[in-house]
Amino acid sequence: MANVRKRTITREIMNQAIIDAFKKLNPSVMIKNPVMFVVEVGTVITLLLSFAPDLFGATNVGRGYNIAVFFILLVTVLFANFAEALAEGRGKAQADTLRKTKSDTKARLVQKDGTYKEVSSTQLKKGDIVRVEIGEIIPSDGEIIEGLASIDESAITGESAPVIKEAGGDFSSVTGGTRVASDYIVVKVMTDPGESFLDRMISLVEGAKRQKTPNEIALTTLLAVLTLIFLIVIMTMVPMAQYLSVQLDIATLIALLVCLIPTTIGGLLSAIGIAGMDRVTQFNVLAMSGKAVEAAGDIDTMILDKTGTITFGNRMASEFFPVAGATAKEINFTSLQASVKDETPEGRSVVELAGKLGESWKSSEYDDAEVVEFTAETRMSGLNLKNGTQIRKGAVDAIKKHVTDKGGNIPQDLDEISNRIAKAGGTPLAVAVNDRIFGVIYLKDTVKPGLKERFAELRAMGIKTIMCTGDNPLTAATIAKEAGVDEFIAEAKPEDKIAAIKKEQQEGKLVAMTGDGTNDAPALAQADVGLAMNSGTMAAKEAANMIDLDSDPTKLLSVISIGKQLLITRGALTTFSIANDIAKYFAIIPAMFIVAMPQLQALNIMHLASPTSAILSALIFNAIIIPLLVPIAMKGVKYRAMSADKLLSRNVLIYGIGGVIVPFIGIKVIDLVIQGLHIV
Catalytic residues, which ones? Answer: 305
| Distance (Å, whole) CA 662 – CA 576 | 10
Residue 487 contacts residue 476 (beta carbons within 8 Å): no
What are the CA-CA distances from residue 60 to residues 32, 248, 252, 527 (Å)?
A: 35, 9, 11, 63
Residue 534 contacts residue 175 (beta carbons within 8 Å): yes
Angle at 127 between CA 163 and CA 103, to 5 degrees: 55
Q: Please, which residues have CB within 8 angstroms of residue 424's CB and are 6 or more apart in sequence?
A: 478
For 345-361, give the DSSP string: HHHHHHHHHHHHTT---
**Annotated binding residues:** 342, 346, 374-381, 393, 516, 520
Residue 541 contacts residue 141 (beta carbons within 8 Å): no
**Per-position b or e across 243-276, b if 16+ CB within 10 A of its CB:** eeebebbbbbbbbbbbbbbbbbbbbbbbbbbbbb
| Distance (Å, whole) CA 558 – CA 547 | 13
What is the identity of the amino acid at 510? L
Helix crossing, 250-260 with 63-101: angle to 10°?
40
Helix crossing, 555-593 with 451-461: angle to 10°?
40
**Per-position b or e across 541-557, b if 16+ CB within 10 A of its CB:** bebbbbbbbbbbbbbbb
**Annotated binding residues for ATP:** 342, 346, 374-381, 393
| Distance (Å, whole) CA 337 – CA 223 | 70
**Annotated binding residues for Mg(2+):** 516, 520
